Amino acid sequence: MLQQIAVIAAAAVAAGIHSLAPDHWLPYVLLAKGRGWSTRRALGVTAAGATTHLFATTILGLIIVFVGAETTVRFGRRAELFSGILVIAIGFYLLWASKARLGHHHGHHDHDHAHADGQDHAHSDGHDRAHDKHGSAAADFRLGAILGARPCAESIPIFLAASTRGVFASLGAVAAWAIVTVGAMVAVVWLSLLGLQAVKLEALEQHGEQISAWLIIAIGVIVVAVTL
């Protein structure tokens, strides 16, 4: 029993450490600043990404428990390769979308015209910048979910070790990994945004989405390169 608890505790500690990796939280921070999200929306989008990340990783863990390590390694490599390609595609989409959004803003202009009462009134073409930056909540949550939809290969050794201690240890390790990962990712994003509130980084707010896009592309390239 103590060995099973030790394995579950090790899974929780490993999950917390792996969640500190920049690819798990930095894209969400940069997107939040670049798109002008509220803290609540940023944390919700992060939670959506963490949930799909956990879903993919949990499937990997369950395959280890019920199918075996050899099949899991093959499945894990293919899933990593596919997710890497998907992440690259998402990065290029975000890059295109951010440039299109900037072009959209630059295409609008304010103009004045006189009314019958002789007073001049200023009007702005197009939608309000803040409204456009916030965008659709559903679209933002979908984006966050897709960003997180890749299994963590780092979890395989932990799940393999747990599988040698029985089903209870295996399922406990999967549950511990899931709970700690979601909590850690959301906490790190919240603390990062809290720290950035005191610092006005105009370049980050204006180009955060493009920086995030390039970071996501780099993450995808690294995932594909390691898998091949």
Residue in this structure with the two tokens 């390691």, named with its chain if needed: 226
Q: Is 107 left (phi over 0), alpha (psi -120 to 50) or beta?
A: alpha
End-to-end CA distance of the chain: 39
Q: Map out the domains of the chain as residue ranges.
A: 2-107+125-227
pLDDT of residue 207 exceeding 90: no
pLDDT score of 125: 43
pLDDT score of 206: 64
How far lies 170's CA from each of 10, 17, 65, 173, in Å?
12, 19, 7, 5
Q: Is 68 left (phi over 0), alpha (psi -120 to 50) or beta?
A: left
Interatomic CA distance for residues 198 and 52, integer angstroms? 31
Asked if 177 and 155 count as a contact pair (C-beta separation under 8 A), the reply is yes
Interatomic CA distance for residues 18 and 6, integer angstroms? 18
pLDDT score of 160: 75
Higher pLDDT: 29 or 160? It is 29
For 68, phi then psi, to 5°, come to 130, 165
pLDDT of residue 201 exceeding 70: no
Interatomic CA distance for residues 187 and 179, integer angstroms? 12
